[in-house]
Amino acid sequence: MRVLEESPTATLARLVSNARVEVLPTPSVEDLVLAHLPRSRTVTVTASPSKGLEATLGLTERLAKHGYPVVPHLAARMVSGRSELEEIVGRLAAHGITRVFVPAGDAHPVGDYDDALGLLEDLATIGHPFEHVGITGYPESHPVINDDVAVQSMWDKRRHATHIVSNLTFNPTVLHRWIKRLRARGVILPVLLGVPGPVHRAKLLSMASKIGVGDSTRFLMKNKRLFGRLAAPGGFTSERFLIKCAPELGGPEALVEGLHVFTFNQIAETEAWLTDLRGKLCG
């Protein structure tokens, strides 16, 4: 654990060096990953209600065979219950998967799990089969969940998780206030900061039209203001956002350890951006 304040440049270099990328389980994404991502890059695979968990699990298994560290999204509402969860755990263990991300998911519950906490509790009784378990954080107000409820949910889930993955925010002040609120409540899990990759407007609109493809796309569609800021020509860029955030993220109390990059399957562009940014910061 860090005990000293970092410079903003050192903070950015550390976060970029610890970046993982999120992909949507579409038919072409495996080839894109193989073509553009180094085997050292951690890849997370979203869960889609329209495609089912099989698309997530299948892509996870194939990428693991190719040598990638892979983090499947186990959307709780898409799992029928403990029996299916045990099958999933066994399947992932057989492929050496040690990390998962557990959101509630946007689907209507298909079985026993109305939220992420129930699934996390069952994972605990199964024997904590994963070394790293991520849960969702919402710096921006959730479309349907009160802010106090969202923070309380992280408190309830903290003993079953190893880190928090923040959903998108484009406002550094909102991010800083959220982190301080977490720490004031005693939630001391490390945070992976969610940021979008260099998404082209046309591609973003194309992906967003496929409702059900991935959690990140649906989040944008539910948050029209955020969508507009990301899609607007000459508007938000992740690099400017990170530069503005860095001065508040260098202290050991912030516990922001890396980036979770929403690629919207613009994988080549995202990896090129991370490589370029790392070169600027570390060169």
Q: What is the pLDDT of residues 135-164, one digit of tens each?
A: 998 887 655 555 566 667 777 888 999 999
Q: Provide the pLDDT for residue 48.
A: 86
- Cβ–Cβ < 8 Å for 43, 66: no
Range with the poorest average pLDDT among 52-56, 250-254, 271-275 = 250-254
pTM: 0.88
Q: Provide the pLDDT for residue 6.
A: 83
Q: Is the pLDDT of residue 13 over 80?
A: yes
Query: 167 vs 3, which has greater pLDDT?
Result: 167
CA–CA distance, 178 with 166 (Å, rounded to integer): 10
Q: Provide the pLDDT for residue 123.
A: 97
CA–CA distance, 17 with 165 (Å, rounded to integer): 16
Q: What mean pLDDT is predicted for residues 200-227?
A: 51
What helix, strand, coil percent values describe the chain, rounded to 5? Answer: 50, 15, 40
Q: What mean pLDDT is predicted for residues 4-19?
A: 90
- Cβ–Cβ < 8 Å for 140, 222: no
Q: Provide the pLDDT for residue 185.
A: 85
Total residue length of the chain = 283
Q: Check the CA dihedral 230-232-237-243 and report its sign.
A: negative
User: With respect to CATH, is domain 8-282 assigned 3.40.50.920?
Assistant: no
Query: 158 vs 40, which has greater pLDDT?
Result: 40
Residue written as tokens 């270099």? 13
Provide the strand spans (E) within 238-283.
Answer: 256-262
Q: What is the SS3 string spanning 52-65?
A: CHHHHHHHHHHHHH
Q: What is the pLDDT of residues 167-183, one digit of tens each?
A: 888 788 989 999 998 89
Residue 239's nearest CA partner among 83, 40, 60, 8 is 8
Q: What does the mean pLDDT of the chain come to? A: 86
212: pLDDT confidence band, cut at 50, 70 and 90? Answer: very low
Q: Provide the pLDDT for residue 129.
A: 95
Q: Is the pLDDT of residue 192 over 70?
A: yes
Q: Provide the pLDDT for residue 154.
A: 75
Cβ-Cβ contacts under 8 Å for 232 (sequence gap 6 or more): 201
Joined tokens for residue 126: 């199964």
Q: Is the pLDDT of residue 250 over 80?
A: yes
Q: Provide the pLDDT for residue 217.
A: 47
Cα separations in angstroms, 1 against 138, 190, 251, 253, 275:
24, 10, 11, 10, 26
- Cβ–Cβ < 8 Å for 247, 15: no
Q: Is the pLDDT of residue 59 over 70?
A: yes
Q: What mean pLDDT is predicted for residues 24-30?
A: 93
Q: Is the pLDDT of residue 33 over 60?
A: yes
Q: What mean pLDDT is predicted for residues 203-212?
A: 48
Residue 101's nearest CA partner among 87, 122, 120, 125 is 120
Sequence spans of domains, the chain: 8-282
Residue written as tokens 């503005």? 244
Q: Is the pLDDT of residue 281 over 60?
A: yes
Cβ-Cβ contacts under 8 Å for 68 (sequence gap 6 or more): 33, 37, 39, 41, 42, 43
Q: Is the pLDDT of residue 114 over 90?
A: yes
Burial class (CB in 10 A: 0-12, 13-18, 19+), 108: exposed
245: pLDDT confidence band, cut at 50, 70 and 90? Answer: very high
Range with the poorest average pLDDT among 13-22, 58-67, 99-108, 219-228 = 219-228
Q: Provide the pLDDT for residue 78.
A: 96
Give me the percent of the chain exceeding a pLDDT of 90. 60
